[in-house]
Structure 1
Amino acid sequence: MRTSHLLLLIMLGALSGLTPLAVDMYLPAIPSIAEDLAASVESVQLTISTFLIGFAIGQLFYGPMVDSFGRKPVILFGVALFTLASIGCVFAESLPVLLLFRLLQAIGGAAGVVVVNALLRDLFSPDDVVRAMTIVILTMTLAPLVAPLLGGAMLALGWHSIFILLALLGALLWGAILVWIPETLKPKLRQPLRLGSVLSNYYRVLCHRKAMGSLLASTFSSAGMFAFISGSPYVYIQYFGVPAQHYGLLFGLNVLFLMGMTFINGRLVKRVGLLAMLRLGLILSAVAGLALVFNGATGWGGLWGIVIPVCCYVGQLGMVGANATSHALGFFPANAGTASALAGSLRFGVGALAGVAVNSVPATSALPMTGVMAVCGVLALGAHLWLGRTLRHPTRAG
């Protein structure tokens, strides 16, 4: 892999990391935001689900736009909207206003995921996409590693400072994209932006059994992580009494596991096979989910009875995410943006529902969070086994 490609992948990883940063950095500040806005912690936690809903909706619009107008104009618009919405969050004085700007922030950030996946599909061969995507994910995971730690440290300056930093990062990234990210969509591959063709392209992806087997497996697997993100501030800080400043340390353990699994996947995927690594990750998610619901119901292991299985669950995403997405996108070379948008929309839309499910139950134990994670892990494996019985890699099967 050329040095220029490596630098571009790091840039794409930073672009992908902007959204996890926006989700994870303010998690330790949720109790402070609730107090300042005279709202309950459960109500403020809904800003996470609101963000995920906006992220899902935004991708559905960006997918066809990426295939029609090109990669660069779409991402410049999205990052600009993200930056302006972050500034709006700084001046929010009530929960409804904060919810509105979080929704706009998410819609802007959604462009990043769609464009990054499409760029990878443009620049690399099917055999190299997984390795390239692994490097992007490895870079991207640095964001959630430092985000809760940084957010906890910035609480001394007030929760508003978190959104000021996000706005500054968005502005810097916008300038970097303008200078360094090329336009990769060839004119002959541009798709007319017509409603009928857009719906037809989405329908084509939805009806593709093999692609949907991978997309749904990735969707449910990721939803379990979003259930953790939504429920962990209560479970760790309030239920187990972990200081808010130390929350980021426990959160960071998950990211270390994720980075380790992502690295292992990148080293083994060509030797063992894309689908074999995907199945291994899905089995791990189901086992970790069942362990979580048992420990959450019985209290076995206390805090570490939750932390360790959560690390295993989040870690497996390093195997599932890149492999499932690469497999699904490989079937749609002319509609990579649309397929990527649907993948991201499903992932974050179902993730938002998982977060709502966690917060819809009165928080008195770890069981709401762990129960939803277990269901998601089992559904991910079930979707793969049901729809992917005859799966083969698209480079070897049409």
Structure 2
Amino acid sequence: MTDKFMARTKKVGVGNFMWGTLAALMAITSLSTDIYLPAMPQMMKDLQGDIELTITGFLVGFSIGQLFWGPISDRYGRKIPMTIGLLLFILGSIGCALSSTIVEIVLFRVFQAFGACVGPMLSRAMVRDTLEKTKAAEMLSTLMTLMAIAPIIGPLIGGQLLKFTTWHSIFSLLALIGFLMLVASIRLPETLPNKKRNGTSLWEAFKKYKILFRKRDFMVYTLCVTFYYVTVYAFVAGSPLVYINFFGLSPEDYGWLFAVNIVGIATLSFINRYLVRRYTLDNLLKTSTSISMLAGLLLITMAYTGFGGLWSIAISVFFVLSMNGVIAACSTASALDKVPDMAGAGSALLGALQYGSGIVSTLLLAFFGNGTGNPWIMSWIMAIFTMLATTMAFLPKRRSKI
């Protein structure tokens, strides 16, 4: 962190509060998808449709939203789009709670996500505003450790709520959480001073995406985390039917088994804080993607043979997902380091592709799945895309000509 920014945050007493709030804002995405996972089988019965499309809709809004808010945040600062985005998230959550058809809830999920995307996108940009490459990777690992609380408690809370009420209350709870985050975000400092803001028109700002697509190293790191997140969302969208419908787990037990994976993510994210001080980000990225690929190959083997049943699937998935914190932190820090003058747009494009990759997962699951939750479909998606992520990590990097 720059000495000037450190002094300012300490003076106003918002240093730890800022990082804690940014971690919570990054967690909004996970919470918005994970908290209602135990309810997906019941929602499929109530709404009479492919419930995976609720995740697809969220990811569509999340991806488009980041592309919209990124240049705006470079032009007007981080706090204005953050406030507007959280307001949209609250309204979208209320709409989901009041939905009675699959079409209604998918549309409101798009609206909800259009606002939710400001949390992780602007958190990454604010970290890059204040920290250099290695420190940014260290801080991102710290934030991911803290944000891991959300996907741990999300399915547990959702499963417990279903004991006493309907799935509609889950989205009402998200609206309340959004309001609390809005109140907390008001105290955050503006990390992009006027002199560093993009003075060009918004139209010119949006043209930066064309430049970013042509920056080879930025895109290699971005595609690495993008392919990996196809794997992540294949599990997020596919595991409720696999664990609950196919293997017969209760929604409450599903929440506990899901939480085990997040413990692995949090642990590796915490360890990564120290690894980035000793090893290069590229070497950490190569190692973590390779481990996830080997676990993905084990997963597809277990799913095909049926050997070990539920536990062989769960253990394989654990090792695939535990690499999340390392891969996401190292890829993000390395990618944004290539575009320091376009941190907002770069973070937006990276986030749009990263989380938009889940659209691929959910559509593949909806197209090839038949509602039974056969683990084979989820497994081959995860195996293929861990291999693609590893390929990106091992591609040689070179200086962009632009």
Bucket of the pairwise TM-score, normalised by the shorter protein:
over 0.9
1:157 and 2:165 correspond:
yes
CA contact (8 A) 1:285 1:313 kept: yes
1:374 and 2:383 correspond:
yes
Give the Cα separation in 2 of the matches to 1:146 and 1:265: 22
Give the Cα separation in 1 of the matches to 2:272 and 2:294: 19
Counterpart residue number, 2:85: 78
Give the Cα separation in 1 of the matches to 2:183 and 2:41: 34
Give the Cα separation in 1 of the matches to 2:129 and 2:385: 32
Counterpart residue number, 2:235: 228
Counterpart residue number, 1:17: 27
CA contact (8 A) 1:216 1:384 kept: no
Let me know the Cα RMSD of the aligned residues: 1.7
Matched residue type, 2:39: A
Matched residue type, 1:13: A
CA contact (8 A) 1:65 1:193 kept: no
How far did 1:127 drift? 2.9
1:35-64: CA deviation from partner (whole Å, max 9, x where unpaired): 222x14xx1121011111111111010110
CA contact (8 A) 2:285 2:393 kept: no
- Which of 18, 30, 37 aligns to 1:8? It is 18
- Which of 349, 352, 362 aligns to 2:356? It is 349
Give the Cα separation in 1 of the matches to 2:356 and 2:17: 31
Gaps of 5+ in 1: none
Q: Map of 1:288-327 to 2, 5 A cutoff?
A: 288-327=295-334
TM-score (norm 1): 0.94
Counterpart residue number, 2:147: 140
Matched residue type, 2:281: L
Give the Cα separation in 1 of the matches to 2:76 and 2:356: 25
1:10-43: CA deviation from partner (whole Å, max 9, x where unpaired): 1100111112111000010112222222x14xx1
Give the Cα separation in 1 of the matches to 2:398 and 2:153: 37
Helix, strand or coil: the match of 1:145? Answer: helix
How far did 1:218 drift? 0.6
1:228-274: CA deviation from partner (whole Å, max 9, x where unpaired): 11110110000011111111111001100001111111111111221
Give the Cα separation in 1 of the matches to 2:176 and 2:397: 48
Give the Cα separation in 2 of the matches to 1:131 and 1:199: 30
Helix, strand or coil: the match of 2:369? Answer: coil
CA contact (8 A) 2:223 2:389 kept: yes
How far did 1:197 drift? 2.2
- Which of 167, 170, 178 aligns to 2:178? It is 170
Helix, strand or coil: the match of 2:51? Answer: helix
Helix, strand or coil: the match of 2:117? Answer: helix
Give the Cα separation in 2 of the matches to 1:197 and 1:61: 13
CA contact (8 A) 1:231 1:359 kept: no
Question: Residues 6 and 278 from structure 1, CA distance in 2 versus in 1: closer, same or farther, beyond 3 angstroms?
Answer: farther
Counterpart residue number, 2:279: 272
Counterpart residue number, 1:205: 212
Helix, strand or coil: the match of 1:390? Answer: coil
Matched residue type, 1:325: T
1:247 and 2:246 correspond:
no
Counterpart residue number, 2:201: 194
Counterpart residue number, 1:185: 192
Give the Cα separation in 1 of the matches to 2:200 and 2:146: 33
How far did 1:160 drift? 1.1
Question: Residues 75 and 193 from structure 1, CA distance in 2 versus in 1: closer, same or farther, beyond 3 angstroms?
Answer: farther
Q: Map of 1:121-140 to 2, 5 A cutoff?
A: 121-140=128-147
Matched residue type, 1:385: F
1:113 and 2:110 correspond:
no
Question: Residues 113 and 314 from structure 1, CA distance in 2 versus in 1: closer, same or farther, beyond 3 angstroms?
Answer: same
Deviates more, 1:368-377 or 1:25-34: 25-34
How far did 1:292 drift? 1.1
Give the Cα separation in 2 of the matches to 1:253 and 1:374: 20
Gaps of 5+ in 2: none
1:117-175: CA deviation from partner (whole Å, max 9, x where unpaired): 11101122233111111111111111001000000000121111101110111011101
- Which of 30, 35, 38 aligns to 1:28? It is 38
Matched residue type, 1:19: T
Matched residue type, 2:26: S
1:68 and 2:78 correspond:
no
Counterpart residue number, 1:390: 397
CA contact (8 A) 1:10 1:135 kept: no
CA contact (8 A) 2:77 2:190 kept: yes
How far did 1:385 drift? 2.2
Matched residue type, 1:175: V
How far did 1:391 drift? 5.8
Helix, strand or coil: the match of 1:23? Answer: helix
Question: Residues 390 and 265 from structure 1, CA distance in 2 versus in 1: closer, same or farther, beyond 3 angstroms?
Answer: same
Question: Residues 199 and 174 from structure 1, CA distance in 2 versus in 1: closer, same or farther, beyond 3 angstroms?
Answer: closer
Give the Cα separation in 2 of the matches to 1:313 and 1:199: 35
TM-score (norm 2): 0.93
How far did 1:211 drift? 1.4
Deviates more, 1:27-36 or 1:186-195: 186-195
